[in-house]
Amino acid sequence: MLDDADDIHPLFAGAPRTTEFKKLRKRIVRYAREAIEQYGMIERDARWLVCLSGGKDSYTLLAVLHELKWRGLLPVDLLACNLDQGQPGFPATVLPAFLEKMGVPHRIEYQDTYSIVVDKVPAGRTYCALCSRLRRGNLYRIAREEGCSAVVLGHHRDDILETFFMNLFHGGRLATMPPKLVNEEGDLFVYRPLAHVAEADCEKFATAMNYPIIPCDLCGSQDGLQRQQVKAILDGWEANSPGRRQVMFRALMNARPSHLLDPKLFDFAGLSRDTGEIEDNLSDIPKLR
């Protein structure tokens, strides 16, 4: 069904007809569908706010969700949303023109959070943490205004792995981005349908589709980030042992609280031995004098 070039969503129009690309596309769609089903993201007749930054990941997310909806496999309403945060040099016309051309329902919101970040963050520090919080707050507001039950983000497998190691190395905790969570206010879901998809696949897909990519470093605040350092470490491991990323990702899906050290997750104090057989044979054990 996915190989019928005449029966696709416009976001896939002009897709390469090579066998390699068809396999890539089917793999990404399959992984996204698996994540959506595995983590229980579907609420029938719900409305999702699909966050679009203009990067390769968000384009991949948008295309895959519309493909699933086109196939009747995602019974939700999709609204694409781009938040223009006032970053210098941001090409404000690119996404509206693209979404109009593709016939994708959308909302473009302008909020100059960049000026706030520049004012609040000390010189020499990265903007990303505060910028992300301000962006998320605005997206939650927009979701409520549009009657959406979920905010959908384009984080992929590698983002999840990098966040895990950042928390491990710098935060002293075992945690990462979950595929599904509820916001602090308790009124919105946050979904990451690309949780099982490799970053390399997103890049190959968006490049092959020739989507108009907008760089993520317009603010000039990317150099020296902890995430870039972690990414370099993971790249080195992957180069030395291909497939290492996927093995580590599977480990996040196979946690054993009894083999970690957190007493809040496992009742170590209440752990007891099965001493029935030993007690039956106590009379056979000589007493110490």
Q: How is 22-39 classified by DSSP, letter by letter?
A: HHHHHHHHHHHHHHHHHT
Q: 265-288 pLDDT, tens per residue?
A: 999 999 998 876 555 555 565 665
For the stretch 147-157, what's the b/e string if a residue is b when 16 or more beta carbons lie within 10 angstroms of its beta carbon?
ebbbbbbbbbb
Mapping DSSP to helix (H, G, I), strand (E, B) and coil, where does residue 83 land? strand
Asked whether the whole model's pTM tops 0.85, one would answer yes
The correct CATH number of 10-256 out of 3.40.50.620, 2.40.30.10, 3.30.1360.120, 3.90.180.10 is 3.40.50.620
Antiparallel, parallel or unpaired: β 150-152 and 189-191: parallel
d(CA 177, CA 12): 28
pLDDT by residue, tens only, the chain of 289 residues = 344 545 667 888 888 999 999 999 999 999 999 999 999 999 888 999 999 999 999 999 999 999 999 989 999 999 999 998 888 888 989 999 999 999 999 999 998 888 888 777 777 677 777 778 888 999 999 999 999 999 999 999 999 999 999 999 989 999 999 999 999 999 999 999 999 999 999 999 999 999 999 987 655 555 457 888 899 999 999 999 999 999 999 999 999 999 999 999 999 999 998 876 555 555 565 665 5
In angstroms, the Cα distances linking 129 to 12, 65, 134, 204, 281 are: 34, 27, 9, 28, 62
C-beta neighbour count of 217 within 10 angstroms? 9
Burial tier of 182 (Cβ tally within 10 Å: 0-12, 13-18, 19+): exposed
Q: 81-115 pLDDT, tens per residue?
A: 999 888 888 898 999 999 999 999 999 999 888 88
d(CA 275, CA 270): 15
| Amino acid identity, position 226 | Q
